[in-house]
Amino acid sequence: MAILHGMWVALLAAVLLVWVYRTILIHLPSHQGPALDVRSAPEVRDQGLVSVIVPAKDEEENIRVAIETILAQHYRNLEVIVVDDRSRDRTAEIVREVAAGDARVRLVQVTELPEGWFGKPHAMQVAAREARGQWLLFVDADCRQAPHSVQTSVDFLAREQGDMLSLWPVLEMHGFWENAVQPVAGSVLVAWFRPAWVNNPKHWAAFANGQYILLRRTAFDAVGGYEAVRTEIVEDIALARLVKRSGHRLLNAVGKDLSTTRMYTTLPQMAKGWRRIYYGAFKSPAWLGGVIALTFLFTLLPFLTLAHASVHMALGEPAPWVVAEWALSLGILGLLFVTMQRYFVMARTNRWYLLFYPLAVVLVLGFQFQALLRALGFGTVTWRGTTYKGNKVVGGAGGQGAGRDAGRD
C-alpha cells in the first residue's frame, strides 16, 4: 500500500510540474503566436485580386450582414462568391438583392450533392472553380469581418511568404453555457495545436479554423483543393494537414479584431459542434482515447483528489501521503486557475465563470467521449441537413433534404 501511495504522490508531482510549465508558457508571447489587429493593419496596397468565398446553407439570418462586412473592406480589389448549398430559405434571394447593387458579388447555386462528396467541401470547391483571384479567402456566413480584415491577412501572408493562413477569431459569447464552456473546450485545442507549433514547418501540428482560411491560389491548386478532402466532415483541419505535409507553409494567427463569430448558442449545439471538431482534430480512436485520459488527468482528477484528501484530513487521518496529496492537489489547482484565467481573458470572458470550471470540464470530457464513439464507428453526424456516417453520406444529400440543422453540427 505504501508503494501505491508513493506512486500516486509521484504522479501528482508530475502533473504539478506540467502545470508549472503551462503557466509559464501561457504568459509567453511566442506561445500565443502572431496576433493581428487594427494596429498591425498596413497601408492599403494592391496585392492582387482576392476571391472571398462564402458557403451558405439556410443562412437568411446572416448572409446579408456577412456580405456587407466584406464589401466594406478597405481592400477594394476583391470579388465575393456566395455558394448557396441546397438552401430552402431566402438565402439565394437575399444574395441576388445584394448583387444587384454591387457587381463584385456573384451567386453560385448547388442543387444536389454528388456521390463521393461531403457538403461543405463540395460547396467550396464549386465556388473555387468560379473564382478568378490569386488569393482565396474562405469565410463562414455567420462571421463578421472588420474593415481591415482582408488587407491585414493578405499582407501578413505575403510578408511571411506563407501559403495558407487561418485565424483564431474572437468568439461572441452570450449566456451562461457559452461563457462557461467555450473557453474550456477551446483550451484543449490550444494545448495540442499551439500556433507556435503549427507555424513551425518542422513540427507535426497542423490546424485550421474553417471560419477564416486564406490561401494562395497556387497552393490551393497544388494540393488538389477541397476535392482532396471531399469526404472529411472537418475539412478545414484536413486541408491544413494536407498543405503542411505537402511542403507548403501553413500559418495560424490570432485575429484579435479582424473577424468575429458566434459559434453556438445552446448547450446541445455545443455538444454537436465540439464532438465534430474533436473528431476532426484527433481522428483516430487511439489519439482520442489519449486526449480523454490526459484531459481527465490534468483537469478533473486534481479536484477529485483534493476532495478525497480533504475528507481524510477532516476525519483526523493526516497521514503523510494524505498531506502530500492535499498539498499537491491544491498547488495544481492554483496553477490551473492562473493558467485558465489567462485563457478566459483572451476569450474576453468574465473570469467569474471559472467558478464553474469543474462542470465545464465534465461537459468537455463528454464531448470528447462522443467524438471517440464516432471514431469507433458508432452513430452519425448531421451538418446542415445532411447526415454522415464514417466517410459516407447516409441522408439528406439532395435538394429536398432536411432544412437547417439546429445543432449546427
What is the pLDDT at residue 107? Answer: 96
Answer whether residue 386 shows pLDDT above 70. Answer: no
| Beta strands per DSSP E along 158-230 | 164-171, 212-216
Which residues neighbour 288 within 8 Å (Cβ) at sequence distance 6 or greater? 278, 279, 282, 368, 371, 372, 375
Answer whether residue 153 shows pLDDT above 90. Answer: yes
Answer whether residue 353 shows pLDDT above 80. Answer: yes
Measure CA 342 to chain center.
Answer: 18
pLDDT: which is higher, 387 or 377? 377
Q: What is the mean pLDDT of residues 49-57?
A: 96
What is the pLDDT at residue 30? Answer: 64
CA angle 121, 150, 231 (to 5 degrees): 10
pLDDT: which is higher, 233 or 70? 70
CB 280 within 8 A of CB 237: yes
Answer whether residue 258 shows pLDDT above 50. Answer: yes
Q: What is the pLDDT of residues 262-313, one digit of tens each?
A: 888 899 989 988 998 998 888 889 999 999 999 999 999 999 999 988 887 7
What is the pLDDT at residue 408? Answer: 38
Answer whether residue 407 shows pLDDT above 50. Answer: no
Q: What is the mean pLDDT of residues 173-193?
A: 90
Is 113 buried (19+), middle (13-18) or exposed (0-12) by CB count in 10 A?
buried
Q: State the Cα–Cα distance between residues 135 and 138, nearest whole angstrom.
A: 10
**Domain at 34-266: CATH code:** 3.90.550.10
Answer whether residue 405 shows pLDDT above 70. Answer: no
Instruction: Give the single-character DSSP code of 108.
Output: E
Compute the mean pLDDT over every residue in the chain, rounded to the nearest whole number.
Answer: 87
pLDDT band at 402 (very low <50, low <70, confident <90, very high): very low
**pTM, to two decimals:** 0.86
What is the pLDDT at residue 45? Answer: 83
Domain ranges of the chain: 2-28+284-395, 34-266
Answer whether residue 325 shows pLDDT above 50. Answer: yes
CB 341 within 8 A of CB 314: no
CB 133 within 8 A of CB 48: yes
Answer whether residue 164 shows pLDDT above 80. Answer: yes
Answer whether residue 409 shows pLDDT above 50. Answer: no
pLDDT band at 404 (very low <50, low <70, confident <90, very high): very low
Answer whether residue 138 shows pLDDT above 60. Answer: yes
Closest CA to 387 of 368, 400, 369, 405: 405
Radius of gyration in angstroms for the set of CA atoms belonging to the chain, rounded to a whole number:
23
Closest CA to 199 of 170, 237, 149, 160: 160
Answer whether residue 394 shows pLDDT above 70. Answer: no
What is the pLDDT at residue 391? Answer: 57
Q: State the Cα–Cα distance between residues 338 and 332, nearest whole angstrom.
A: 10
What is the pLDDT at residue 379? Answer: 65
Answer whether residue 66 shows pLDDT above 50. Answer: yes
